[in-house]
């Protein structure tokens, strides 16, 4: 698994490395899916084809239908997150579609 470090391609252009550990998850509308974090992964980068929610704390993600004001809400459309110590990520969408997750080790 590669590092997520920035790569400078030109004087003013930076990008993260391409991943060598990439998983694709097909979502059924309103049905949570569990993403197992691979051993050694410290970062996850999400590339969705549909809007989605994620939970990184071991709970099953839901599409909110009421206010969640306890601090235990589900994150909408995360891009890249530090996930060291996270075993699973729960993802859900109210639409059928796919979410790609790229993992990095540092």
The 10s digit of each residue's pLDDT in 80-97 is: 999 999 999 999 999 999
Residues sharing a CB contact under 8 Å with residue 2, sequence separation 6 or more, in sequence order:
17, 18, 19, 20, 21, 104, 105
At the second CATH level, the architecture of 21-104 is Sandwich (2.60)
The full length of the chain comes to 106
DSSP string, 24-63: EEEEPTT--EEEEPPTT--EEEEEESS--EEE-SSSPP--
Mean pLDDT is lowest, of 2-6, 45-49, 52-56, 70-74, for 2-6
Could you tell me the residue ranges of all domains in the chain?
21-104
80 conformational bin, left if phi > 0, alpha if psi -120 to 50, beta if neither: beta
């Amino acid at each position: 698994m590669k590092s997520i470090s920035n790569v400078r391609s030109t004087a003013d252009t930076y990008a993260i490395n391409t991943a060598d550990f990439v998983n694709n998850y097909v979502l059924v509308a309103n049905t949570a899916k569990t993403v197992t974090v691979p051993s050694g992964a410290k970062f996850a980068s999400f590339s969705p084809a549909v809007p989605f929610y994620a939970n990184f704390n071991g709970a099953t993600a839901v599409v909110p239908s009421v206010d969640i004001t306890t601090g235990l809400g589900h994150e909408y459309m995360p891009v890249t997150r530090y996930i060291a110590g996270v075993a699973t990520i729960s993802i859900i969408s109210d639409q059928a579609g796919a979410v790609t997750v790229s993992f990095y080790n540092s």
